[in-house]
Structure 1
Amino acid sequence: MKPKIYVTRKLNEGILAKLEETCEVTLWEEENLPVPREVLEREIREADGLFCLLTEQIDAALLEKAPRLKIIANLAVGYNHIDIEAATAKGIMVTNTPGVLTETTADLTFALLMATARRLVESSDYLRRGAWVTWSPMLLTGQDVYGSTLGIIGLGRIGEAVARRAKAFDMKVYYHNRTRKPEAEEQLGLEYCDMATLLRESDFVCILVPYTPGTRHLIGHNELALMKQSAILINTSRGGIIDETALYYALAEGKIWAAGLDVFEQEPVPANHPLLTLPNVVTLPHIGSASIKTRLRMADIAADNLLKGLAGLTPPNLVNPQVDARDTKR
């Protein structure tokens, strides 16, 4: 019998056909709405494999309803929406899609930095509502990017890619990371420093750390108070890393100049979210890796991870390697 897999969102036909060659596939057909919890609970009962997105909360309670589940293939790099400990305890492999989205997400990070610095969204809205009646020396003036100072919190693959782009703009780049990276320092001319120094000295602060219990609200009132009044905060990592209430007050009271956010603590973000009311915030709907080429490649990698796990092989992007793929044949 073919293994049964449940896919939580509509996929490209080519990826779907690849899964259907060897598996019995059940698909949540909606493209713009997440699968309801009750549907997921029902479908996972018979599933050998789960192909999911970061929109699904894969917690211990859900996994208790999945006696046959062998592997969870996550269409994302981050996996804080999956209870890895619970999955590991039940011998369920969890995979992600690292590497492939590095350059695309770095492009978006730098684009968001520039759009926020030069007030592009605000300027476009100004023009569209017919407010532009004359040229003025200080009309919609922003902050310079070229030759400024960038602080990167989290120097992983994406952090290094952002640093490469920054060097092309002749930016001085500080970084803070759990461990120093001498090779990156030498190659990219980076300077390691503690977080307080980075926040005090940087014109732009980019957050590129994974979301963990230790990074939740890494940036709060105290950290924002250290930043320059002219500084810009950029987050393309995960929303919970910033205390959004603290950020709102820092922006509303002019303690920092602006913020560019691709991610929020609650996603989709409510339309009445306080940060959406501020003119000095550029907001995006979590599109860091959203290029056609990258998203298709991510789906292909997730599909490969899933199929290898179901075949009793160790997937190349296994998050919990303590689970032996051979032991999942049950």
Structure 2
Amino acid sequence: MSMGRPKVLVTHPEVPLTAINLLKESCDVTVCEGLPAPTREEILTKSKGMDGILWATHCKLDAEALDAAGPQLRSISSKSAGIDYIDVVEVKRRGIPLGHTPGVLSNAVADLAVGLMIAASRRFTEARRILDTCDWNVDSPRWMLGQDIQGSTVGIVGFGGIGQAIVKRLKGFEVGEFLYTGHSPKEDGEKLGATFVTFDALLKRSDFVVVSCPLNHETNGMFDAVAFSKMKSTAIFVNVARGDIVHQEALVDALVNKRIYAAGLDVMSPEPLPIDNILLKLENVVLIPHLGSATIKTRESMANLAAQNVLKGLAGEKMICPV
């Protein structure tokens, strides 16, 4: 254990100052500098000798990273809800307290999910390209681009904080039926008027399929060609979770061959998406660059929570949001 004030590394220079200043009250803080994002080499080099780390990138936090920091490391928190880039087993094997930041981003991600539902179902990408050609003809069937949310069946895959926040927001849209799937029914599902069904039933019955589950060994690639083949040809697919939950080639095939109506994606694989990727060329998909939690208020709340987790770990106390 280091003598005197604990040493803490913040792995990204754009972490809100409120969080950095909170750490500085009782710790000596080093902040990585590289932009647009620090390299893994910089992070691992600067982590040497640190007592705590506020891990604010999606760079892998694995045995190599832990070894680079050294055996004195005794507190880590990610600045994210998802922890798919963290080797949780290895961190816990070494007895290092690990925190993350769920909950505080649920509302921002849910807002975005609803926005993508509207943008994809009303084919914003295709409509925008009509503007580019000045081919306006309001009497043409081509202008009838949309599917309605009102009266539809909305299926939520992953009924945690984000999934439930999506349902709450959609109540005002007069949705016909809410479905959700997972390991087991949830009491909150009944309170929100959502019905627990199997994954297959959700795919077959839903007009909108919204993905808000974590990425893990069960969900990795769960949306494959078989899954898309079970969906309605009029279905809209929305993903605000992780790109690797989807077999992207299967999604492209479903969109190109009109096996589903449209998709709205905040996440994809890889990220950043190469500029020549076919998804960027399709008219029936709306893409945004992983903006789920990207509001000023939400990102600040996430950073502050991560900083508090780190401080709790350093003090030998239970973190506010432990993994």
* TM-score of the pair, normalised by structure 1: 0.91
Asked if the contact 1:8/1:34 (under 8 Å) is kept, the reply is no
Q: Secondary structure at the residue paired with 1:139?
A: helix
Give the one of 119, 122, 130 matched to 1:118. 122
**1:217-236 matched pairs, under 5 angstroms:** 217-236=221-240
* TM-score of the pair, normalised by structure 2: 0.93
Asked if the contact 1:167/1:188 (under 8 Å) is kept, the reply is no
Match of 1:8 in 2: 11
Does 1:59 pair with 2:62? yes
**1:126-205 matched pairs, under 5 angstroms:** 126-127=130-131, 129-140=132-143, 141-171=145-175, 172-181=177-186, 183-205=187-209
**Using the alignment, how far apart are the partners of 1:261 and 1:175 within structure 2?**
19
Root-mean-square deviation over aligned CA pairs = 1.5
Does 1:38 pair with 2:45? no
Give structure 1 regions of 4+ aligned residues with deviation exceeding 3 angstroms: none
- Offset from partner CA, 1:195-240 (integer Å, 9 cap, x none): 1111111111001111001110011010100011111110001111
Letter in 2 for 1:43: K
Letter in 2 for 1:304: Q
Does 1:71 pair with 2:83? no
Does 1:280 pair with 2:265? no
Give the superposition deviation at 1:120. 2.1
- Offset from partner CA, 1:155-194 (integer Å, 9 cap, x none): 111111111222321211111111102x334322212211
**Using the alignment, how far apart are the partners of 1:138 and 1:145 within structure 2?**
20
Asked if the contact 2:10/2:56 (under 8 Å) is kept, the reply is no
Asked if the contact 1:34/1:56 (under 8 Å) is kept, the reply is no
Match of 1:293 in 2: 297
Structure 2: runs of 5 or more not aligned: none
Letter in 2 for 1:18: L
Match of 1:210 in 2: 214
Give the one of 51, 74, 89 matched to 1:85. 89
**1:298-309 matched pairs, under 5 angstroms:** 298-309=302-313
**Using the alignment, how far apart are the partners of 2:268 and 2:109 within structure 1?**
16
Q: Secondary structure at the residue paired with 2:174?
A: coil
Asked if the contact 1:150/1:166 (under 8 Å) is kept, the reply is no
Deviates more, 1:267-276 or 1:108-117: 267-276
Give the superposition deviation at 1:308. 1.4
- Offset from partner CA, 1:229-257 (integer Å, 9 cap, x none): 11111000111101001111111111111
**Using the alignment, how far apart are the partners of 2:146 and 2:201 within structure 1?**
24
The count of corresponding residues between Structure 1 and Structure 2 is 316
**Using the alignment, how far apart are the partners of 2:87 and 2:309 within structure 1?**
18
**Using the alignment, how far apart are the partners of 2:221 and 2:16 within structure 1?**
36
Q: Secondary structure at the residue paired with 1:113?
A: helix
Match of 1:323 in 2: none
Give the superposition deviation at 1:89. 1.1
Give the superposition deviation at 1:130. 4.4
Structure 1: runs of 5 or more not aligned: 320-330
Give the superposition deviation at 1:54. 4.2
